[in-house]
């Protein structure tokens, strides 16, 4: 696996909270491939700011409830 991004996300938890939405359903809502959703969930791909907002909008939450970035040590 490549170097993971430091951005973490709660997409998996949010999907299950949203009636166990599948990765394919989320991909269709976003207009992206299922593999992109998988890559984002696993931290292998950092989405653009626009897609990040779209993901947050799908779940009806604020951006920082989906994505977080660790504080500097």
Partner 1 sequence: MPFEEKMTWVNLVVTIVVPVWYFITMAGRLDATSAADAAWQKPMLIAFGITIGLTILGAIAVSIVSAASAQVTGRPTDSIDRKDERDKSIGRRGDVVGFWVASAGAIGVLVLTMLESAYFWIASALYLTFVLASLASCIVKLVIYRRGF
Binding site for partner 1 (CB under 8 A): 1-4, 24, 27-28, 30-33, 35-36, 39, 42, 44-45, 47-48, 51
- Distance, CA of 29 to CA of 11 (rounded, Å): 14
* Token representation of residue 4: 């993971």
CB 67 → partner 1: shortest distance, Å? 16
Lookup: tokens for 51: 């897609």
The CB-of-38 to partner 1 minimum distance in angstroms stands at 10
CB of 43 to partner 1, least distance (A): 8
């Amino acid at each position: 696996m490549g170097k993971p991004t430091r951005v973490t996300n709660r997409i998996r938890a949010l999907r299950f909270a949203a009636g166990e939405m599948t990765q394919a359903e989320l991909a269709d809502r976003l207009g992206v491939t299922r593999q992109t959703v998988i890559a984002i969930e696993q931290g292998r791909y950092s989405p653009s700011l626009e897609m990040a907002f779209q993901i947050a909008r799908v779940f009806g939450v604020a951006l920082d409830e989906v994505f977080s970035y660790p504080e500097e040590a």
